[in-house]
Structure 1
Amino acid sequence: METKPTVEAKPTTDTRQSLPLIISVDDHTVEPPQVWQDRLPKKYLDIGPRIVRAPLKEMTFLGGRFKPVMGERGGDGPIGDWWVYEDLHRPLTRLDTAVGYDRDEIKLEVITYEQMRKGSYDVPARLADMDVNHVQSALCFPTFPRFCGQTFTEATDHELGLLCIRAYNDWMVEEWCGPSARGRLIPLTLIPLWDAELAAAEVRRNAARGVRAVAFSEIPPHLGLPSVHTDAWDPFLAACDETGTVVAMHIGSSSRMPSTSADAPPAVGSTITFANCCFSMVDWLMSGKFERFPNLKVMYAEGQIGWIPYILERADVVWEENRGWGGVADKVHRPPSELFADHVYGCFFDDAFGLKNLDAIGLNNVLYETDYPHSDSTWPKSREVGEAQMGHLDADVVEKIVRGNAIELLQLTPEGLWSGT
């Protein structure tokens, strides 16, 4: 039972078609409670991911750090559903699934499955909410595993972690994006970040069943992992290059949201969420990886696009004037802006400034998103937002931004659907 929704999912009778049906490259799924309990070996069920209903003792979100503390079951405090995995206790929160609520009612609080919009975790309900929002197809990032599977990378038992990743990927392909989704949900899979060879094998396993996107960290060293300037990731990157698998990096996929101080309120980080994407993109452009792996593509989810032109301008100047002492002359042989045009995609849902500077970004390098069911989501008015922002653009330009570029990048059918194998 949903509490206080402000918008109901009702079929739209508006027949306007000024904005093409949207293909969102950044939505989210809240995993149903049984994803891992149904798929892990019995010996792991008591330590693998499972849902426990318990009270909240305390919870803070400051300086980009989220710190919840679970209370004793049966004790005092707001009741929520918690993912429990090894020693990790992670609650479902209103920020995980905020659509349908007035902006001023969205607070950092624990919730249960009954208190979230059903489309967050249920395929038929999700398709209905997509219909309301003029969305044809959507690629969804995870919630409990976090945006690139950090939960399993940080776990103690990597044998169990690998099983959890494979279980998630099987659920993603076979159920979330299975027959009932009718090609409208596009799979995004995870890899074991702690082992590039295992990661390559998982990319190939999923590519064989039609998956063309894999989640990765925007700044791996923040997770204690090698940077993209090393050769450590080459087996994984080679697998992506060979299979046409897009490396998808969501803000927060380095487990460290940008902030300015330990006591900065979330509004500070929310304003500068693009910063890690910016740093990451410069890393990739100066890494030489795009020249070593010519078919490699990367995309930045929820990073917006208005910041890109200056960074490309600055990167070109540095490459032109300072590459000799800057450590890139022997591996970056083309201007970074040219590499960007061939390999990098920016994703946005609300960026009027970026849309006024498409020529400096590149029309072919821009993708659209709705961020359902997060608090930033434009649901259920993504069409209206898109029409307002893109009303000054030619129809063929809007077509590419809203769906055409996604169809090409993710190898969807001409109709904009995922066809699996």
Structure 2
Amino acid sequence: MTTTPELPRIVSVDDHVIEPAHLFSTWLPERYRDRGPRPLTAGIGELAYVGGKYHFTMDPAGPAADWWVYEDLRFPYKRNIAAVGFTRDEMTLEGITRAQMRPGCWDPAERLRDMDLNHVEASLCFPTFPRFCGQTFAEARDKEVALACVRAYNDWMVEEWCGDSGGRLIPLCLIPLWDVGLAVAEIRRNAARGVRAVTFSEIPTHLGLPSIHSGYWDPFFAVCEDTGTVVSMHIGSSSQMPAASPDAPPAVQAALSFNNAMASMADFLFSGVLVRFPRLRLAYAEGQMGWIPYALERADAVWAEHRAWGGVRDTVPEPPSSYYYRQIYCCFFRDLHGVASLDAVGRDNATFETDYPHVDSTFPHTREVALEHTRGLDDETVWKLLRGNAIRMLGLDLDADRVANAAPVRSPETARSRSGEPGAGPGAGPTATQAL
């Protein structure tokens, strides 16, 4: 008789929520509601994705979709971002209504049921209509209303989406990106009620905001460090995807999406931010991890050979990889090469995700995918990848004794020593050619 290996229940650090139609009518103060986002069900014309941007029109004769109307913005929900329940060939750019979605996309009780089906204990969810780090509100003209919308979203996230989940739905909040002082205040407001994660842009300058090198964001980083708030950055949170030929199909950008996380991480490693704020934690969502070993090798080589003329001699006193192992988390869901390179990626730096309900989601087969990726790994490493590192990163009230006893490994050398495999390296564990 064949038995299926036991697998710890997953803590997913990257999922998504489709906002319910009542969000702003319930949580936005009444004086702002006529100027805030309004839900609408209306026909949609043909959708296209060109150069990293969606192109669409409202069309009364077209199929119905649920929209948000906010200032001049018309934002439709699309099938590829509410894809669970559809076959791969059905995950198109067609518009979709909430009634056509799997209810777990927007209903927290149904989400918990889907998590049970999918071997997931806890989930951190990024926004959809506000976009990955709240760009929708940062781009609005009326910043008084925009600030009220950020706060309303956060109140809904904490009190309604996560409130009755028993801690299984983990709050991820927005900041008003346009004002660092307001951002600091919002971090403190949410931290006071137990929030330990905030979403931020991978490359703020792409949004017309100051760079992380400028010092402008230091008060934000300081309050995140002080409150234990993780700065979580999703691919595409710069409102750009990696460029290729302008007429390339969207599949090219999807294949290159990890480039955003790689560029952002290099930015941070050479910025001095992690030097000035040694307890600050960064997390990259949906970036995968197979690229990290060479990115760190190259960063360390640049630091060793070029730091004087390269402008980082006085701001980055140690090899950049040391800050990565100390302060940065990556995440994966389909990355056999990354698992095979785990000693270089860092067994204490990698976390897992399901990407529910996006087109990339492993739902409802996440357990099988996780088993395939962790085959041959020791139990402690499996626990760290699927839940332990996420619990430690987010300060969750789970597995307290085990987390306390799992001292982080800070470098590939000590990782190999702790694992008892002095010859371990990129060839250890599952191979990159294993099929899912």
TM range, normalised to the smaller chain? over 0.9
Counterpart secondary structure, 1:156: coil
1:181-216 deviation per Cα after TM superposition (whole angstroms, max 9, x unaligned): 111000000000111111011011101111110000
Alignment of 1:97-112 (within 5 A): 97-112=82-97
Matched, 1:64 2:52: yes
Which whole-Å CA distance do the structure 2 matches of 1:383 and 1:169 have between them? Answer: 31
Matched, 1:121 2:109: no
Which whole-Å CA distance do the structure 1 matches of 2:94 and 2:17 have between them? Answer: 19
Partner residue, 1:273: 257
Amino acid of the structure 2 residue aligned with 1:20: P
Structure 1 residue 105: Cα displacement = 1.2
Alignment check: 8 A CA contact 1:65 1:257 kept: no
Which whole-Å CA distance do the structure 2 matches of 1:51 and 1:15 have between them? Answer: 49
Alignment of 1:245-256 (within 5 A): 245-256=229-240
Q: Normalising by the residue count of structure 1, what TM-score does the alignment of the two structures yield?
A: 0.93
Which whole-Å CA distance do the structure 1 matches of 2:222 and 2:5 have between them? Answer: 41
Structure 1 residue 220: Cα displacement = 0.5
Partner residue, 1:138: 123
Instruction: Select 2:11's aligned residue among 23, 35, 46.
Output: 23
Amino acid of the structure 1 residue aligned with 2:181: E
Amino acid of the structure 2 residue aligned with 1:48: G
Q: Which runs of 4+ in 1 moved over 6 A?
A: none
Structure 1 residue 17: Cα displacement = 5.5
Q: How many residues align?
A: 399
Instruction: Select 1:394's aligned residue among 373, 378, 394.
Output: 378
Which whole-Å CA distance do the structure 1 matches of 2:28 and 2:167 have between them? Answer: 27
Structure 1 residue 16: Cα displacement = 4.8
* Long gaps (5+) in structure 1: 1-13, 417-421
* Long gaps (5+) in structure 2: 401-436
Which whole-Å CA distance do the structure 2 matches of 1:199 and 1:345 have between them? Answer: 23
Could you tell me the percent identity over the aligned residues?
A: 58
Instruction: Select 2:71's aligned residue among 69, 86, 108.
Output: 86
Alignment check: 8 A CA contact 1:18 1:387 kept: no
Counterpart secondary structure, 1:155: coil
Counterpart secondary structure, 1:324: coil
Partner residue, 1:195: 179
Instruction: Select 2:80's aligned residue among 95, 102, 113.
Output: 95
Alignment of 1:197-216 (within 5 A): 197-216=181-200
Alignment check: 8 A CA contact 1:214 1:245 kept: yes
Which whole-Å CA distance do the structure 1 matches of 2:75 and 2:245 have between them? Answer: 24
Instruction: Select 2:139's aligned residue among 141, 145, 154.
Output: 154
Instruction: Select 2:221's aligned residue among 205, 229, 237.
Output: 237
Counterpart secondary structure, 1:183: coil
Partner residue, 1:9: none
Alpha carbons of 1:15 and 1:240: their partners in 2 closer, same or farther (altered >3 Å)? farther
Which whole-Å CA distance do the structure 1 matches of 2:279 and 2:360 have between them? Answer: 32
Q: Normalising by the residue count of structure 2, what TM-score does the alignment of the two structures yield?
A: 0.90
Alignment check: 8 A CA contact 2:36 2:70 kept: yes
Which whole-Å CA distance do the structure 2 matches of 1:52 and 1:190 have between them? Answer: 23
Partner residue, 2:301: 317
CA-atom RMSD in angstroms: 1.3
Matched, 1:175 2:160: yes
Which whole-Å CA distance do the structure 1 matches of 2:200 and 2:4 have between them? Answer: 37
1:298-345 deviation per Cα after TM superposition (whole angstroms, max 9, x unaligned): 010000000000000000000011000001111101100101001111
